[in-house]
Chains A and B, each alone.
Chain A
Amino acid sequence: GENVEQHPSTLSVQEGDSAVIKCTYSDSASNYFPWYKQELGKRPQLIIDIRSNVGEKKDQRIAVTLNKTAKHFSLHITETQPEDSAVYFCAEGGGSNYKLTFGKGTLLTVNP
């Protein structure tokens, strides 16, 4: 996977609203799609991931959907809270590729 487009670059929502971040990729052989959350001044941490044999995965308020045909995947956060404010990165890799390629990140701000 050599190219990952992530949108939007910034997202501001009110507490309790939903937030959606989308990524598109180019390598059809990619089979692993993680999402990382990076709070200010801290390390990136995995929040959810999905493999290409699954279309959707959910973990409490966080869900990820994958459309392999269209080569895009999305992060959905419901009932957002101020502590969800951070930069979120999508990434893709796997298949014949040992590395992860990251998107440029989305700065999510949840306003109380």
Chain B
Amino acid sequence: DSGVTQTPKHLITATGQRVTLRCSPRSGDLSVYWYQQSLDQGLQFLIQYYNGEERAKGNILERFSAQQFPDLHSELNLSSLELGDSALYFCASSVGKLAGALGEQFFGPGTRLTVL
């Protein structure tokens, strides 16, 4: 157990719908990262937050958004869902103390999203 929790574990929804994925980082970690993992694309970095502020952005679609709350938990919102959004979504956390000094990221168990 990494100490990172994600809910829900599984999510099945229809095209056009909107869902929210939730992540709670390890105690003491200020950085939260979101990744999308599909069979043919590996681990794709979506976005990172540090202590409530967006710090880095990857290949995140405009239909997707995220935020980190004052208690440091984070939510990833996916809207106007398409079949191709079906994937495993991981959240990871790290201390993220020093700017630009990366360290171990601890991954949550993931949320499996299926869009029908």
- Shortest C-beta distance, A25 to chain B (Å), equals 14
Let me know if B58 and A99 touch, CB within 8 A. Answer: yes
B27 at the interface (CB under 8 A from A): no
Q: How far is the CB of B99 from chain A (nearest CB, A)?
A: 8
Interface of A is mostly: strand
- Give the contacts of B71-116 with A (CB-CB under 8 A): 90, 99-105, 107-110
A32 touches B102 (CB 8 A): yes
A97 at the interface (CB under 8 A from B): yes
Q: Does B45 contact A (CB under 8 A)?
A: yes
By the criterion CB–CB under 8 Å, are A49 and B104 in contact?
yes
Chain A contacts for B109, CB-based, 8 A: 42-43
**How many residues of A are in contact with the other chain, CB < 8 A?**
23
Q: Mark A32-45, 1 if CB is under 8 A from B, else 0.
A: 10100000001111
Q: Which of A32, A34, A45, A99 contacts B48 (CB 8 A)?
A: A99
Return chain B residues, CB-CB under 8 Å to A98.
48, 50, 55-56, 99-100, 102
A46 within 8 A of B: yes
Q: Given A43-B110, A89-B42, A105-B42, do A99 and B105 touch, yes or no (CB 8 Å)?
A: no
- Residues of chain B having any CB pair with chain A under 8 Å: 2, 33, 35, 41-45, 48, 50, 55-56, 58, 90, 99-105, 107-110
A interface with B by C-beta (< 8 Å): 32, 34, 42-46, 49, 89, 91, 93-105
